[in-house]
């Protein structure tokens, strides 16, 4: 059973603060790691798909890093805004037993609330 853990479980920050979350995943049989942003009553929105050790990706004020050897990824938000309030999910894809393109194993998510 694959174990994907996210921390913290929830986070309250003030507008303008920078913040970061952690996703831990198995360090063996790595294929890809996804980050999703999920606002209430909407579809999860893909932020990043990361496939290479050392990957760093950026989208506006949001960036992510990946360390496949030690099994973790960080998501950073610079200058948080109230519209960043959402649940942030990471999902791991393993290549154990052959490539498993579709089977995302999710963490439980980090709920971010940005207060004006």
Residues that bind other proteins (CB under 8 A): 4, 6, 31-32, 34, 36, 41-46, 49, 51, 89, 91, 93, 100-109
CA nearest 59: which of 77, 85, 42? 77
- Give the whole-angstrom CA distance, residue 59 versus residue 77: 10
Q: Are 93 and 34 in contact (CB under 8 A)?
A: yes
Of 61 and 103, which CB lies nearer to other proteins in the complex structure?
Answer: 103
Of 23 and 77, which CB lies nearer to other proteins in the complex structure?
Answer: 23
Q: Which two tokens stand for residue 3?
A: 């174990």
Q: Shortest Cβ distance from residue 57 to other proteins (Å)? A: 13
Cis check for the bond before 102: say yes or no (omega within 30 of 0).
no
Q: Shortest Cβ distance from residue 99 to other proteins (Å)? A: 8
Q: Shortest Cβ distance from residue 12 to other proteins (Å)? A: 18
Q: Shortest Cβ distance from residue 85 to other proteins (Å)? A: 18
Kindly compute the dihedral angle of the four CA atoms of residues 71, 44, 9, 104, in this order, to the nearest 10 degrees: -30
Q: Are 66 and 52 in contact (CB under 8 A)?
A: yes
Of 34 and 84, which CB lies nearer to other proteins in the complex structure?
Answer: 34
Of 14 and 41, which CB lies nearer to other proteins in the complex structure?
Answer: 41
């Amino acid at each position: 059973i694959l174990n994907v853990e996210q921390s913290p479980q929830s986070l309250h920050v003030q507008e303008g603060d920078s913040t970061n979350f952690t996703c831990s995943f198995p360090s063996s049989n790595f294929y890809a790691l996804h980050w999703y942003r999920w606002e209430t009553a909407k579809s999860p929105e893909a932020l990043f798909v990361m496939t290479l050790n050392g990957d760093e990706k950026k989208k506006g004020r949001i960036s992510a890093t990946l360390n496949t050897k030690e099994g973790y990824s960080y998501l950073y938000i610079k200058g948080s805004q109230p519209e960043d309030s959402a649940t942030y999910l990471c999902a791991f894809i393993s290549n154990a037993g052959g490539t498993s393109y579709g089977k995302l194993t999710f963490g439980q998510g980090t709920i971010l609330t940005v207060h004006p």
